[in-house]
Amino acid sequence: MANNTANNTHSQLIYLDGHATTPLDARVLNAMLPYLTEQFGNSSSQSHRYGWEAAAAVKQARQVLSNAIGASSDDPSEIIFTSGATEANNLALKGIAEAYFQKGRHLITLQTEHSAVLEPCRYLERLGFEVTYLPVQPDGLLDIHLLAEAIRPETVLVSVMAANSEIGVLQPLGEIGALCRERGVLFHTDAAQAIGKIPLDVQAMSIDLMSLTAHKLYGPKGVGALYVRRRPRVQLAAQLHGGGQEQGLRSGTLATHQIVGFARAVELADSPEEQEGLAHQRQLRDRLWSALAPLGGIHLNGHPTQRLPGSLNVSVEGVDGAALLLSLRSQVAVSSGSACGSGKTAPSHVLLALGRDRALAAASLRFCVGRFNTEAEIDQVIDQISVTIRALRLGDFKPREIKPKQD
Ligand SMILES: *Cc1c(COP(=O)(O)O)cnc(C)c1O
């Protein structure tokens, strides 16, 4: 395992918030550094060596990403570099809506998507598009039959995330892709949380567009990508206009160091060492759950097994959500719901969509056991959380019967 200093800065504060972001792996930083100093060229400068070096590094990174998601190895131009998954999602949703509006103006997504999908959808609704926000089952999974019923002749795009950013639930991408292909609808997936943690294959899963980001994967913040299928060719309208980089789909000088870091992060995640690390993270995640469950009144949010290896989201009965986070914040870096829209106190839209009531949705803890967490840290977190929950419950706590979600 790599030695990483990022986690040592706050020695008392144990970081378990990897759904929000992850520290930069030291090996990724080392790969990036030369491209900030000696090899600083603009990859579009084709008249001298500085430009060639940058272009070669970008080309190599494009190849790494293509390989990682099963894209066609002879056409790595299917990868469009962006500033992250938010931009990739915006490019996918707005770019498809704009390119295909004469064919149809209906899109389908899930109620549990990230705000970087939901907000572009709401924007498109204001422009006159129609969006169906499908509910999910109490375990967070999409019922494929609901999707089949929702597809209409005027539907142009289905957007379903690969792994949920709050509960880690993994949607059945292969089934969704096959259905979309059969019905002649494009399929986009936001795979920001999934890349490097579960197998992704745009061919086998019939995925037409896929959003990625580096910073959930021990890469740098500020870089991501959109995969756009070339065969059969997916039309896309650019949302940023300028110098015409990325085949005119995303203008702006490429951030070579960021792109190199992104590719290094993906390579590391796919290495046998880090794939084994995922099994270890799963064990620690299960250890945490096994220790918290006996406290009673602790509810697992999301499917018990169809989940990312490090993800654990629980609702804690009989405590105030804000008080729980406040009591833990000097010891454990976790969050309730998403980190986006910071300062927002509304209960998570994801947990509400699972059918949790507002109190349980508000009293939730979202854990992500990551690459640099140790068993000793997890044991410390178990102690701290158990003590905190018992203290906040004040003696006479009795778990209640939770009714299943009413559809
Ligand atoms: C983090 C995240 C995003 C946003 O990615 P950025 O690179 O921070 O813009 C989008 N979707 C999901 C599922 C995420 O987890």
Per-residue pLDDT tens digits for 179-219: 999 999 999 999 999 999 999 999 999 999 999 999 999 99
Largest CA distance in the chain: 76
**How much distance in Å is there from the Cα of 192 to the middle of ligand 1?**
5
Spatial separation of the C-alpha atoms in residues 45 and 52, rounded to whole Å? 7
Catalytic-residue membership of 340: yes
Do residues 254 and 297 both lie within one domain?
no
- Domain contains 153: yes
The model's pLDDT over 27-66, given as tens digits with 9 standing for 90+, comes to: 999 999 999 999 999 999 999 999 999 999 999 999 999 9
- Domain contains 399: no
* Domain-terminating residue out of 217, 252, 269: 269
The rounded percent of the chain whose pLDDT value lies above 70 is 93
Task: Name all residues whose Cβ lies below 6 A of ligand 1.
Answer: 84-86, 114, 116, 161, 165, 190, 192-193, 213, 215-216, 224
Closest CA to 166 of 188, 137, 191, 193: 193
* Domain-terminating residue out of 239, 269, 299: 269
Choose which residue among 209, 216, 217, 335 to substitute to test ligand 1 binding: the one with the highest number of ligand atoms within 8 A of its C-beta. 216
* Domain-terminating residue out of 269, 296, 315: 269
Give the ligand 1 atom nearest the CA of 86: 9
Q: What angle do CA 286, 161, 101 make, to 5 degrees?
A: 175
Closest CA to 258 of 87, 94, 95: 87
Spatial separation of the C-alpha atoms in residues 165 and 20, rounded to whole Å? 8
- Domain contains 406: no
- Please give the tally of structural domains in the chain: 2
**How much distance in Å is there from the Cα of 116 to the middle of ligand 1?**
7
Give the pLDDT confidence score for residue 10 in this predicted structure.
52
**How much distance in Å is there from the Cα of 141 to the middle of ligand 1?**
19
Q: Cis omega before residue 272 (within 30°)?
A: no
**How much distance in Å is there from the Cα of 281 to the middle of ligand 1?**
21
Give Cβ neighbours of residue 11 (< 8 Å, ≥ 6 apart). Answer: none
Do residues 12 and 30 both lie within one domain?
no
The model's pLDDT over 72-122, given as tens digits with 9 standing for 90+, comes to: 777 778 999 999 999 999 999 999 999 999 999 999 999 999 999 999 999
Do residues 175 and 280 both lie within one domain?
no
Give the ligand 1 atom nearest the CA of 113: 13
Domain membership of residue 297 as a residue range: 5-16+272-393
- Domain contains 102: yes
Give the ligand 1 atom nearest the CA of 222: 7
